[in-house]
Amino acid sequence: MAFHVGDVVKVKRTGLLRGGESAKIMQVLPPQPGHGSAREYVVEFNTPPQKFRSSDRFLFCIYREEELIG
């Protein structure tokens, strides 16, 4: 399933840092040579991760399409 800028998605529970959290698609990255047809997305979270509550470092992350749920 392809996502678009502005879509709200959820990271699959298997994600170590942000599993189960919702995020907004900010950018669809162009395909990278050698990665096949896997799409990648820049997503923005509203809050820092639970493990690093005092850090804004992980507000933006890159995820592959198979790591996200629509």
State the Cα–Cα distance between residues 38 and 64, nearest whole angstrom.
Answer: 7
The alpha carbons of the chain give a radius of gyration, in whole angstroms, of 12
Asked, for residue 8, whether it belongs to a domain, the answer is yes
CB-based contact 42:62 (threshold 8 Å): yes
Please give the tally of structural domains in the chain.
Answer: 1
Q: What is the pLDDT of residue 13?
A: 87
Asked, for residue 16, whether it belongs to a domain, the answer is yes
Q: What is the pLDDT of residue 70?
A: 84
CB-based contact 24:3 (threshold 8 Å): no
Give this prediction's pTM: 0.82
pLDDT digits (tens, 9 = 90+) for 20-38: 889 999 999 988 777 677 7
Structure tokens at 68: 């996200």
Asked, for residue 14, whether it belongs to a domain, the answer is yes
pLDDT digits (tens, 9 = 90+) for 41-61: 999 998 877 776 666 777 899
Domain that holds residue 2: 1-23+39-45
Asked, for residue 66, whether it belongs to a domain, the answer is no
Asked, for residue 58, whether it belongs to a domain, the answer is no
Give every strand in the sheet of 8-11, ordered side by side: 60-64, 40-44, 22-29, 8-11, 68-69
